[in-house]
A and B are shown apart, each in its own frame.
Chain A
Amino acid sequence: MPNIIVKGLKKAYGNKQVLKGLDFTAEQGEVIAVIGKNGAGKSTFLETLMMIRDFDEGTVNLFGKDVGSLGAKGVRELKKDLSIVLQPTNFYKNLRVKELLELFRSYYGKSADVKATIRDFELQEHLKTPFDKLSGGWKQRVALAIAFMSSPKLVILDEPTTGLDPYMRDVLWKNIIRHNKEHNGTILLSTHYMDEVERYCDKVMLIHEGQSNVFDTPANLLAKTGHTSINDFYLDRIGEKEAVR
């Protein structure tokens, strides 16, 4: 059964229609990139899945439950299977890494295993370091550790590797892929690094003007369009749309 089924999603801010009937499906174990230029509707779509943004029309089904029909308690229950990494990554700056893990364990309850998380993400070195004193790469590593601590079925990553060197990006991605395979979850990635889309994602969805413009595997996309890279495809597609306008 798919982890996510979205049908005809619409959302407007005042007179501005941001999502215009978006359809989307994500299976268990998939890593899916959501790309599109700024203002295309990516954030609104992802925030809808995070259940922190209301929508006007359509249906959003997460793990077999209709989000629109849930009350506050039901939404909180569903959020136990959801986690995110935001850009920029920020937590309480004065808390040490170990304390942040303990705090988030209290949010997620018994399902969160602090010891295993410390071991899996190799956090021992900085357990007593305040979050604010960590380097950018370490902050992202801690954010990922917290995101995966509760073994969520859905993890939404908003530009998780921005500002990191290629080595740290690779380390983080290996962590992401390994955890996702272990927990059979779904990962949604919003990124501007097209090489990451090509290298790590099973599928890619291009949101353009509030709709799912393209939704396919990177390999199929390249084969169908004849482009040599997702970056070329993206620039060509966005440029083409811009030129039409």
Chain B
Amino acid sequence: MTMLATQLKYDLIMFFREIFYLVFTVIVPPATYLFMGQLFGGETYGGDLSYVQFYTPSFIILITFSVVFFAFGFDQVMNRSLGIEKRISVSPVNMRTILLSNIIKSVIITSLGFMLITSIGIAVYSLKISLADFFSAYAVFILITAALLTISSAIYSFFKEMKSALVFSIVIFQVVLFTADFTVPVAQMPQFVQWIANLNPIYHINHIFIDVWNGLFVLNTETTISLAYLTLLVFVSVLLVSRRAKV
């Protein structure tokens, strides 16, 4: 327990000392949320949702994605390729403790992102959300974080070199940014972008979370397909992670 607490303390310290992670997680998403709000704050989205109703949950998901893919997935590749993982594996530490610390770190940081965007929404855009919707949104948010951690672990288990993982991370960040309804609405984009969006799990997660956040979630054909697709991805990811762990 002491070891887990120490590891977690230093994992968090390392995150907040890494400018690269901070830019992509704590700086860019909130800044974009504020900037876009100034430009398009008066518009309506996804039917009759205001900017703050639509984009507050969206940017929470964007921060979660960034944290999980950069500070969790990419971080694992970095530790593997630099030999840090090997050095630690020779010490008398259970590697599951290291993984658990990394997971708790990610949940803490994504939760901070959740609170940060919500606070900006309340302070700048007069965001209103009922306590019940807030708590149900947070519960779903934790499930989403767990799903993304699993998918991220599976994807980054394929990388041995830090450079290729970094290029992948930056490219995938751009793809997700433009095909998950974080910026320009996907419905207004060309057909091939909409096709990519449908394959992008973050697009599905984003829309489910927007519905949950606004108390509008209902199980219909669209949401069932999204949930089934995400469940399948998580299932395949678990299989991949388990198989890689045995190698």
Known: A52-B86, A84-B87, A90-B87. A95 touches B10 (CB 8 A): yes
CB distance from A151 to the nearest CB of B (A): 13
Is A193 interfacial (CB-CB < 8 Å)?
no
CB distance from B9 to the nearest CB of A (A): 9
Q: Is the CB of A107 within 8 A of B89?
A: no
The B49-75 residues at the A interface (CB cut-off 8 A) are: none
Q: Is the CB of B88 within 8 A of A107?
A: yes
Known: A103-B7, A106-B2. A83 touches B90 (CB 8 A): yes
Complex: chain A residue closest to B5, CB-CB: A106
Known: A103-B10, A106-B2. A92 touches B91 (CB 8 A): no
Of A77, A79, A92, A106, the residue contacting B6 (CB under 8 A) is A106
Of B82, B83, B91, the residue contacting A108 (CB under 8 A) is B91
Bound form: Cα–Cα A77–B92 in Å: 6
Q: Is the CB of B90 within 8 A of A84?
A: yes
CB distance from A91 to the nearest CB of B (A): 6
Of B17, B87, B91, the residue contacting A86 (CB under 8 A) is B87
Bound form: Cα–Cα A107–B94 in Å: 9
Complex: chain A residue closest to B14, CB-CB: A94
Q: Is the CB of B13 within 8 A of A50?
A: no
Is A102 interfacial (CB-CB < 8 Å)?
yes
Bound form: Cα–Cα A88–B88 in Å: 14
Residue numbers in B under 8 Å from A102 (CB-CB): 6
CB distance from A92 to the nearest CB of B (A): 6
Q: Is the CB of B10 within 8 A of A79?
A: no
Q: Is the CB of A88 within 8 A of B83?
A: yes
Bound form: Cα–Cα A90–B14 in Å: 15
CB distance from B14 to the nearest CB of A (A): 5
Is B18 interfacial (CB-CB < 8 Å)?
yes
Q: Is the CB of A99 within 8 A of B10?
A: yes
The A84-112 residues at the B interface (CB cut-off 8 A) are: 84, 86, 88, 90-92, 94-95, 99, 102-104, 106-109
Is A237 interfacial (CB-CB < 8 Å)?
no
Interface of B, helix, strand, loop or mixed by DSSP:
helix
CB distance from B89 to the nearest CB of A (A): 5
CB distance from A73 to the nearest CB of B (A): 9
Bound form: Cα–Cα A92–B84 in Å: 7
Of A76, A90, A95, the residue contacting B83 (CB under 8 A) is A90
Q: Is the CB of A95 within 8 A of B94?
A: no
Is B236 interfacial (CB-CB < 8 Å)?
no
Is B99 interfacial (CB-CB < 8 Å)?
no
Of A52, A88, A91, A106, the residue contacting B90 (CB under 8 A) is A52
The B128-175 residues at the A interface (CB cut-off 8 A) are: none
- B1-36: CB near A (< 8 Å → 1, else 0) gives 011001100100110011000000000000000000
Is B93 interfacial (CB-CB < 8 Å)?
yes
Scoring B2, B10, B88, B90 by chain A CB atoms within 10 A of each residue's CB, the highest score goes to B90
Is A22 interfacial (CB-CB < 8 Å)?
no
Q: Is the CB of A90 within 8 A of B82?
A: yes
Residue numbers in B under 8 Å from A94 (CB-CB): 13-14, 17-18
Please provide the 5 A-B residue pairs with the shortest distance between their CB atoms, ordered closest to farther.
Answer: A106-B6, A79-B92, A94-B17, A90-B82, A107-B91
Interface residues of A (CB under 8 A from B): 50-52, 72, 76-80, 82-84, 86, 88, 90-92, 94-95, 99, 102-104, 106-109, 130
A-B contact pairs, 19 of them (CB 8 A): A72-B94, A82-B90, A86-B87, A88-B83, A90-B82, A90-B84, A91-B87, A92-B14, A92-B79, A92-B84, A94-B13, A94-B14, A95-B10, A95-B14, A99-B10, A102-B6, A103-B10, A107-B88, A130-B17
